[in-house]
Amino acid sequence: MESAPTGKRAPRYPFVATVKATDLHSGMQIQGLTTNLSDGGCCVATRKGPFSADTQILLEITRNGVSLLTKATVVYNLKDQFMGIRFEEMPPDQAAILAGWIKAATAPVNPGLTAP
C-alpha cells in the first residue's frame, strides 16, 4: 500500500465491501470483496485469479449503496486469491467517501458502553 512519510504504510482497518476491478488495458473485469481498507489502498479477495502486480485498474468499491470509483494499481497478487491495491490520485468527492468509511471503521462499536 502507499507509504506514509515515516516510511510506514497507512494503518489498515477491517472493511468488507463488494469490489469490481476493470483492467484499464484489456477491459477484463473481476469481482471480489475487500478485506481491509486504508488511506492508501485495500486488499481484495477474489474467487478467480486476480490481476498480476503493476496492472492498472479502475476500481469500484460499493458498500450500503455507496460506491467509490478510482484508478488504482495492483501492488501484489497473493496465492491467486488476494490482491493488494494502491489507490492512485483520487477525485475529492471520492476521497470524501473513503474518509467517511475509514472514520466509520475506526469508531467505537458501542461508544456509550464502558468496560467494567
pTM, to two decimals: 0.84
Rounded Cα gap, residues 26 and 63, in angstroms: 26
CA dihedral 62, 89, 31, 19 (to 10 degrees): -20
pLDDT in tens, 68-103: 999 999 999 988 799 999 999 999 999 999 999 999
pLDDT in tens, 5-30: 345 678 999 999 999 999 999 999 99
Rounded Cα gap, residues 97 and 111, in angstroms: 22
Q: Which range is least confidently modeled, 38-42, 45-49, 69-73, 86-90?
A: 45-49
Fold of 13-96: Thrombin, subunit H (2.40.10)
Enumerate the H helices of 1-116 as residue ranges: 92-106
